[in-house]
């Protein structure tokens, strides 16, 4: 049986931390930024962790 391929879109989107958790960037930072406050845009810059319920599926995708 051949090796499983990782999902390339997911591999570029998610990163694994040293402790094994999955890191992701926040949404809503691409366009229509004029109506968003500076505080909101600043908070969207920081990365966050994938929810525990989704992390198992993401780990399979990025292997």
Helix, strand, coil percentages (3-state) for the chain, rounded to 5, are: 40, 10, 50
CA distance 31 to 24: 18
CA distance 9 to 62: 9
Q: What is the mean pLDDT of residues 30-40?
A: 97
Span 38-63, mean pLDDT? 96
pLDDT at 63: 87
* Mean pLDDT, rounded, of the chain: 96
Rounded Cα–Cα distance for residues 37 and 6 (Å):
37
């Amino acid at each position: 049986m051949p090796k499983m391929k990782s999902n390339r879109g997911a591999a570029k989107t998610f990163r694994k931390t040293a402790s094994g958790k999955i890191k992701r960037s926040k949404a809503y930072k691409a366009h229509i930024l004029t109506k968003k406050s500076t505080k909101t845009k600043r908070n969207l810059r920081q990365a966050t962790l994938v929810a525990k319920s989704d992390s198992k599926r993401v780990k399979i995708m990025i292997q």
